[in-house]
Structure 1
Amino acid sequence: MRRVPCEEGKVAKLPTSPNQTNPLWRAFACIASGLLLACLASAVSAQSPPGETRTFLWTVLSPTATVHLLGSVHVATRDLYPLDPRIESAFQRAHTLVLETSLDPASQVQAGQKMASAGTYPAGDSIDLHLDREVLELLQQRLKRSGASFDQMRAYRPWLVGVILSLAEMQRWGYHPGLGIDTYFARKAQDRKRIVALETLDEQVALFSGMSDTVQESMLKEALTKMDELGELMKKAQSAWRTGDAKAIDALMVAPMRRDYPEVFQRLFVARNRRMASAVDGYLRTTGEYFVVVGSGHLIGPEGILDLLQAKGYVPVQQ
């Protein structure tokens, strides 16, 4: 993959405002919690047509409804497109697009404001009062490489600093939130389909603002330590997504958190997966055709949405 030009030895210029990062923060949990670690993952048990090239799309049928479940990559490069015709066809047939959260412009502005508020310390407090010396030194080294000053980040909580730094590194490699799968379909559905959100902005912000200082520091430390490997990992993840390799996506993006941060995994994945699977079950009890786009990590692995739907008696079929 061609790397976006950048001065040798430095990361891309950092965003100057948290509002610029709002499309990415939903993916921060995976980035900062060990997305860069290699580990073995269990295969998804849902069925797929034998001998065919797969996509990251599953279809679930009931007597009255059809739900297409597409795993999203929230940041991507231009060469991810065009998408497989099977994905585009399923979207065209659906009357409703279901997203994790609202992605219309007004909602994104609001998301940036809420994220900035939740991720900023009150007056008189700062990140250096919450990090041990080792993590603080790692952060200062990363900021120095980026050409930024520590004062630019002093007021932000560790989870928001992780978002900003990760976004800058991803953009250095050509990965942008505006090219994410969920954003792509949100644009296509505008004024053409009914759009439903599974979660509110407040619910998503609370996922991060509710983390303890200890967890935030640990996740930031790991993100800083592995930051230089992020571009190569994103390349592997996008390649696995393109070929429908659920096992690889689980190993890259979910299993490290499941192993190293079980309590956070329960909060960010399991609890949300259960709510999302319940919503999909509700759609399958109505009539019509739905196209559901959620982060790829929510679909796969133990206690993923596919696993939970199978437990309810449905048969997800990978396309």
Structure 2
Amino acid sequence: MIRTFGAALSAIALCLGLPACAEQPAKAPAAAAPNDADPALWVVKHKDTTVYLFGTIHVLKPGLTWFDEAVKTAFDRSDEVKLEIVMPDPATMQGLVQATGVAAPGTPPLTQRLPAAKRAAFTRAVTDLGLPADALDRYKPWLAATQLSVAPLSKLGYDSTNGPEEVITAAAKQAHKPLTGLETPEQQLGFFGSLSDAAQLQFLESTVDELPSLPKQMAAMVDEWARGDPDALAREMNDELKSSPEVAKVLLTDRNARWATWIKQRMARPGTVFIAVGAGHLAGPDSVQAYLAKMGVKAERVRY
């Protein structure tokens, strides 16, 4: 089985741009007192070039403080900021999703494309979001899977406004630092869309199977991230992707290799760059740092 929630979360930025398909519940109240988090941070240095690598969890509950200490120092020292993507305005994102995530006319409804044994659980997952049973039937399987993974998070108290991407974006704009993406929204949507139909359906089936464990899994990932434990995070987010080599290649390893190549090339120019990507990309044997090492570039953990 593919642990799809980790895969969907690693690209949650695109999901947050989807048009709301159900009335959102009220946000959880802010925590009474902040909790300190010390997420992992790495640095690559060569002569007059420095690149910081920071792993993110794209949504967090209120009250967790992380944009301080070494992370804030690294950000302040940087001349430019890189995220996975820079989100476009909601209307533009909605248009991209419609163009890439909706099945072609004449495609059988998604419910009918699932194995008979999975249909009841899929329908229940959709209606639990307050949607009609057929609300996702025109979606391609990858889009239905990401929507089902992300939509319940607000009910659990998670919010993108507390997530590193929004905090870093706001800080970069306030400091007038150049802010760009390692990928475009079109590219990130295209990675999901490029998966074979069989892989997409497996992605969706596994998502439906995992939904009951979503609260526990999300809490574990946030705890591992806050403790700065990339090895545990890799096991939680990435290891079970290996059961689907196609999904692992498209959503994880190919992207990590491309980002490592970009960093390697960027080291040829002076300056300091702060890169923030999903924490799963900076964990495990196929991490960005592992690809950098193969290129002769060493990323060192910043201890704080």
TM-score using structure 1 length: 0.79
Cα distance in 2 for residues equivalent to 1:91 and 1:194? 12
Answer whether contact 1:139 1:224 (CA < 8 A) is retained. yes
**Aligned residue in 2 for 1:57:** 41
* 1:249 aligned onto 2:233: yes
Cα distance in 2 for residues equivalent to 1:111 and 1:147? 23
Cα distance in 2 for residues equivalent to 1:145 and 1:128? 15
Deviation at 1:24, TM superposition (A): 4.8
Q: Among residues 152, 167, 179, which one is paired with 1:184 in the alignment?
A: 167
Deviation at 1:83, TM superposition (A): 2.8
- Aligned ranges 1:16-35 → 2 under 5 Å: 23-25=13-15
Deviation at 1:90, TM superposition (A): 0.5
Structure 2: any 5+ residue segments left out of the alignment? 1-10, 18-36
Cα distance in 1 for residues equivalent to 2:61 and 2:14? 14
Deviation at 1:149, TM superposition (A): 1.5
Query: Relative to structure 1, is the Cα distance of residues 305 and 266 closer, same or farther in structure 2, using a 3 angstrom cutoff?
Result: same
Cα distance in 1 for residues equivalent to 2:82 and 2:136? 35
Answer whether contact 1:67 1:290 (CA < 8 A) is retained. yes
* 1:206 aligned onto 2:196: no
**Aligned residue in 2 for 1:167:** 150
TM-score using structure 2 length: 0.82
Cα distance in 2 for residues equivalent to 1:314 and 1:79? 36
CA displacement, residues 8-36 of structure 1 (integer Å, 9 cap, x when unaligned)? xxxxxxxxxxxxx9735389xxxxxxxxx
- Aligned ranges 1:25-174 → 2 under 5 Å: 25=15, 55-103=39-87, 105-106=88-89, 108-125=90-107, 126-174=109-157
Deviation at 1:292, TM superposition (A): 0.5
**Aligned residue in 2 for 1:220:** 204
Cα distance in 1 for residues equivalent to 2:16 and 2:241? 15
* 1:280 aligned onto 2:263: yes
Answer whether contact 1:75 1:175 (CA < 8 A) is retained. yes
Instruction: Indicate the SS of the match to 1:190.
Output: helix
Cα distance in 1 for residues equivalent to 2:106 and 2:44? 52
> What amino acid does structure 2 have at the position aligned with 1:133?
A
Answer whether contact 2:83 2:275 (CA < 8 A) is retained. yes
Cα distance in 1 for residues equivalent to 2:199 and 2:169? 32
Q: Among residues 296, 300, 303, which one is paired with 1:317 in the alignment?
A: 300
> What amino acid does structure 1 have at the position aligned with 2:15?
W
Answer whether contact 2:195 2:250 (CA < 8 A) is retained. no
Cα distance in 1 for residues equivalent to 2:44 and 2:12? 31
Deviation at 1:82, TM superposition (A): 4.2
Cα distance in 1 for residues equivalent to 2:39 and 2:189? 30
Deviation at 1:183, TM superposition (A): 2.2
Cα distance in 1 for residues equivalent to 2:283 and 2:96? 29
Cα distance in 2 for residues equivalent to 1:236 and 1:253? 10
Query: Relative to structure 1, is the Cα distance of residues 303 and 166 closer, same or farther in structure 2, using a 3 angstrom cutoff?
Result: closer
CA RMSD of aligned residues (A): 2.2
CA displacement, residues 124-145 of structure 1 (integer Å, 9 cap, x when unaligned)? 3321342221222211122333
Answer whether contact 2:39 2:55 (CA < 8 A) is retained. no
Instruction: Compare relative contact order (CA 8 Å, sep 6+) and give the higher one, 1 or 2.
Output: 1
Instruction: Indicate the SS of the match to 2:118.
Output: helix
Answer whether contact 1:24 1:75 (CA < 8 A) is retained. no
Cα distance in 2 for residues equivalent to 1:270 and 1:26? 23
Deviation at 1:275, TM superposition (A): 0.8
Cα distance in 1 for residues equivalent to 2:129 and 2:187? 32
**Aligned residue in 2 for 1:305:** 288
What fraction of aligned residue pairs are identical, expressed as a percent?
Answer: 26
